[in-house]
Structure 1
Amino acid sequence: MEYYRITNIQDPYFTQLHELMQKVFPSDEVLEFDLWKEPLEDPDIRVFVAVDGNKVVGATEYRYYKEFNVAMTDFTIIGQDGQGIGPFLANRRLDDLNALAAANDKELFGMFAEIYDPYQVDHYEFGMIKSMNPYVRREVLSHLGYKRLEFPYVHPSWSNDGEAVTGLDLCFLPMNESTNELQTDLIVTFLKQYYSILSNKPKSWHAMVDSLETKQEVKLLPI
């Protein structure tokens, strides 16, 4: 497999990726084709696909924040079961992030991810691909070392309609296994920057942030 970066919507592999996203994710979570132009051209947003025989079989999008020395995984897609696509993407992504951190004269501190909690919402389908089943994904991410941040999480809808999206946990993968909590100022600063593009955030999101700002740190718990 090849780990290939997509940087514009004219790339033939992006057409395949967009079709894969539509197959795997709920329709209201897939950005329209033309609206991907700016994100793909943004140097800070890294969209890579796993290509096997000229076919896109998986993908991951993530970002590295130099000022915080942390990453955020936006999504990971496994398009076929039993092909080793998940480990391939996870390992190559980590190699890339470690290189970005080294160029920043740092060792990567860790990586955020929003992880579906099927115990809250159990109707996710995800294209009938077993590897993308929320129960399976949650267990795999737990094995990778992700931990759940101990607070009720809500995120603003990417439709920018002021709606709140629930049924997820904000999780973190610490590079140092002894890390059992995060400073709240890191979490709040990260969330404010990550969602700065959305002008219409729900009241519950602001309330969540306000609540976090009253604390010094947040525990990392098993997922």
Structure 2
Amino acid sequence: MLTYHRIQSIEDPHFPALHQLLGTIFPPEEVLAYELWKEPLLDPSIHVYVALHQGQVVGATEYRYYPQLRVAMTDFTIIGQAGLGIGRFLLRQREKDLQQLAKASGTESIGMFAEVYDPFRAQIHEFGGVSPMNPIVRREVLSHIGYKKLNFPYVHPSWDHEGNAVSELDLCFLPADEEQSELAASLIATFLETYYAALPNKPQQWLDMVETLKSKQAVELLPL
């Protein structure tokens, strides 16, 4: 049986296992340093949960909901072991929590953002720790869930605070309306500025990308 446990402090006894799992699944530039998690975990708007199996951390997810924009963001979903149904468990628990967050704010979500590696652009394919976390598998799973690729060249600031541009990912969106074919570019720009406000060092490529989005009306949603 899996348990959904929220982590709100680096003092939580399960946090070391979570951070170790992050380092196993993601490249170094995508993982925030251990001590730098202290303040984000104290932020009530950031939801970090682990899946526990027999008291051990076997999966995790982080997400947040922006009521002023009526969108959510999935920061990550981690499956640490195959064959336990962890992915489905995290998906359903996250969905229920996000529904409650939207209801509590008096809003109705229009969708959820997520970043996903493009394995055909990534220099390495073997990171991921376990087979369900292979970039090719992760991308296909997001496609099955209903995520669509936002049709613009995407970069994001590295989480190691070095200010490097990471360009091997796509920004995706899971629209509440499955027939939706585009998303307002101004919404995307505002979301990115809000989401990455915590990172002081932004690469010029990222700044240029956001300004380009502000000059557009909409961005097409494509099959992932």
TM-score by length of 2: 0.96
TM-aligned CA distance change 1:162 to 1:35, over 3 Å: closer
Where does residue 46 of structure 1 map in the other structure? 47
What is the distance in 1 between the residues matched to 2:76 and 2:12? 20
Structure 2, unaligned runs of 5 or more: none
Contact 2:28 2:160 in 1 (8 A): no
Where does residue 86 of structure 2 map in the other structure? 85
What is the distance in 2 between the residues matched to 1:126 and 1:94? 27
Where does residue 104 of structure 2 map in the other structure? 103
Where does residue 172 of structure 1 map in the other structure? 173
Where does residue 182 of structure 2 map in the other structure? 181
Residue identity in the other structure for 2:178: E
The Cα shift of 1:160 comes to 2.7
What is the distance in 1 between the residues matched to 2:29 and 2:126? 13
* Alignment partner of 1:112 is 2:100: no
The Cα shift of 1:25 comes to 1.8
Between 124-133 and 33-42, the greater mean CA deviation after superposition: 124-133
Give the RMSD, CA atoms, in angstroms.
Answer: 1.2
The percent of aligned pairs where both chains have the same amino acid is 58
What is the distance in 1 between the residues matched to 2:200 and 2:7? 27
What is the distance in 2 between the residues matched to 1:32 and 1:124? 23
What is the distance in 2 between the residues matched to 1:5 and 1:175? 26
Displacement over 4 Å in runs of 4+? none
Residue identity in the other structure for 1:7: Q
What is the distance in 2 between the residues matched to 1:26 and 1:163? 14
Structure 1, unaligned runs of 5 or more: none
What is the distance in 2 between the residues matched to 1:122 and 1:133? 13
What is the distance in 2 between the residues matched to 1:135 and 1:74? 18
Aligned length: 223
DSSP-derived class of the 2:68 partner: coil
| 1:145-191 Cα shifts (integer Å, max 9, x gaps) | 00000000000112232311110000000111121111111101101
The Cα shift of 1:30 comes to 2.0
Where does residue 20 of structure 1 map in the other structure? 21
Between 103-112 and 146-155, the greater mean CA deviation after superposition: 103-112
Residue identity in the other structure for 1:158: W
TM-score by length of 1: 0.96
Counterparts of residues 1-223 of structure 1 (less than 5 Å)? 1-223=2-224
The Cα shift of 1:127 comes to 4.2
What is the distance in 2 between the residues matched to 1:30 and 1:212? 27
